[in-house]
Homo-oligomer: A and B are copies of this chain.
Amino acid sequence: MLVHHDKTNIVRSHAIFKNLLTEETEKLVKSCTIFNYSRNKIIYNESNHISGCYLIHEGTLKIYKTGYDGKEQIIRFAKPGDLIGFRSVLSNEPACTTAETIQESILFFIPSDILIELFKMNGNFAMSLMRITCKELEEANTYLTDVAQKTVRERLAEVLLHLYKDFGVDESQFIRVSLTREELANIVGTATESVIRLLSEFKDDNLISISGRKINLLDISKLSKLAGI
Contact = CB atoms under 8 A, between A and B. Distances in A.
A198 interface: no
Contacts of A97: 141
A197 interface: no
Nearest to A148: B189
Contact of A129 (B87, B130, B143): B130
Contacts of A119: 123, 126-127, 130
The copy count of this chain in the complex is: 2
B87 A134 contact: yes
Given A123-B119, A130-B126, A142 B69 contact: no
Interface in A106-160: 119-121, 123-124, 126-127, 129-131, 133-138, 140-150
Contact of A65 (B73, B135, B145): B145
Given A119-B130, A133-B133, 8 more contacts: A73-B144, A73-B149, A75-B141, A75-B144, A87-B137, A90-B130, A121-B123, A147-B147
